[in-house]
Structure 1
Amino acid sequence: MVVHNPNNWHWVDKNCLPWSKNYFDNEIIDTKVENEIITVTLTGVDSVTGDCDVTQRKGKVLCIYDMKVTFSVSGQKDGDDFTAKITIPEFVHDQEEDEYVFEIDAESNKVEIRKHFVPVLKVKLMKFQNDLIKAHEKDVQHQTD
């Protein structure tokens, strides 16, 4: 993308929602927790909806996103296999780590999934914002010498 934007003053933005789905496919799928209590593996990214943009204004690159993300997980506990869905109804750019809400749709093992798997998933999700900006900042800023 070629941008004519002297001193990076004007507002420029890029829709990154398709990139986000690919990011989750590449960085989040196969996230796994295995311990003496439970084994849980994230097996799929079911949906990524909402808005995700990298934007630049007055020389500053920012990202703005507000997405709903749903993942599939599978696992095993006490020799029994299970599946579940984990939905983050509001995955938002200005949330703190402790503000994320994880809705777990499972017939069993919700408590164990929340206790053992969600913290590992949260660590990976916290990298999203920096990776998003790094991947797209060159597309919204005019290089000045």
Structure 2
Amino acid sequence: MAKWGQGDPRWIVEEREDGTNVNNWHWTERDATSWSKGRLRELLVGIAVENEAGRCEVSELKQVEGEASCSSRKGKLIFFYEWNIRLGWKGVVKESGAKHKGLIEIPSLSEENEVDDTEVNE
């Protein structure tokens, strides 16, 4: 902790009559929910996997529930999100030409979970 008067020059709220959060130094939070929903749609819809057995593609983003925010504390960005996602997929078996479709559910996509710990249900 700095001695009185020797602190970081960005820490000037005490010296300001209006208490302004200069350069977002203290804490700011912005809602990123609508931007994130659009970005999830861009990233997920159209993903395709193909091999000798057939082809499968994410055809639509059926449901996105949750929220996302971007925060800043002392110049560091912190991201929070928690989503429940339902995706529609369709596929074709190469040998028979049979078409299939279904749903994929990701019940709790969050920054708290590692990729390997993310639950995906069919």
Q: Bin the TM-score by the shorter chain.
A: 0.7 to 0.9
Question: How does the TM-score come out when normalised to structure 2?
Answer: 0.76
Superposition pairs for residues 97-116 of structure 1, below 5 Å?
Answer: 97-104=115-122
Question: What is the Cα deviation at residue 98 of structure 1?
Answer: 0.5
In 2, the alpha carbon distance for the partners of 1:79 and 1:55 equals 49
> Which of these two proteins has the greater Rg computed from alpha carbons?
2
In the alignment, is residue 39 of structure 1 matched against residue 52 of structure 2? no
Q: Size of the alignment, in residue pairs?
A: 101
From the two aligned structures, give the one with the greater helix fraction. 1
In 1, the alpha carbon distance for the partners of 2:23 and 2:46 equals 42
Superposition pairs for residues 65-104 of structure 1, below 5 Å?
Answer: 65-77=81-93, 78-104=96-122
The list of structure 1 runs, each at least 4 consecutive aligned residues, that deviate by more than 3 angstroms after superposition, is: none
2:112 is paired with a residue whose SS is coil
Question: What is the Cα deviation at residue 53 of structure 1?
Answer: 0.5
In 2, the alpha carbon distance for the partners of 1:70 and 1:49 equals 9
- Aligned mate of 1:12, from 23, 28, 38: 28
> Relative contact order (C-alpha < 8 Å, sep 6+): which is higher?
1
1:85 is paired with a residue whose SS is strand
In 2, the alpha carbon distance for the partners of 1:60 and 1:8 equals 10
**What percentage of aligned pairs have identical amino acids?**
27
Question: What is the Cα deviation at residue 72 of structure 1?
Answer: 0.7
Question: Structure 2: which 5+ residue stretches go unaligned?
Answer: 1-19
Question: What is the Cα deviation at residue 10 of structure 1?
Answer: 2.2
Q: Mean alpha-carbon deviation: is it higher for 33-42 or for 5-14?
A: 5-14
Question: How does the TM-score come out when normalised to structure 1?
Answer: 0.65
Per-residue displacement from partner, 1:98-125 (whole Å, max 9, x unpaired)? 0011111xxxxxxxxxxxxxxxxxxxxx
2:103 is paired with a residue whose SS is strand
Question: Structure 1: which 5+ residue stretches go unaligned?
Answer: 105-145
RMSD: 1.4
